[in-house]
Amino acid sequence: MNTTKWSEIKDRVYGEKGTERRDELEREFETFQIGLKLREAREQKNMTQSELAEKLEKKRTYISRVENNGSNLTLKTLFDIVEKGLGGKVTISIEV
CATH number, domain of 61, equals: 1.10.260.40
In angstroms, rounded to a whole number, what is the distance separating the alpha carbons of residues 12 and 1?
Answer: 20
Half-sphere exposure of 13 (CA within 13 A, CB side): 10
Quick check: is 93 in a domain?
no
Predicted confidence band at 28 (pLDDT cuts at 50, 70, 90)? confident
Residue 51 lies in a domain: yes
Residue span of the structural domain in which 33 resides? 9-85
How much is the mean pLDDT over the chain?
Answer: 90
Tens of pLDDT, residue by residue over 29-75, are: 888 999 999 999 999 999 999 999 999 999 999 999 999 987 678 89
Residue 92 lies in a domain: no
Q: How many domains does the chain have?
A: 1
Q: What is the pTM of this model?
A: 0.78
Is residue 30 one of the residues assigned to a domain?
yes
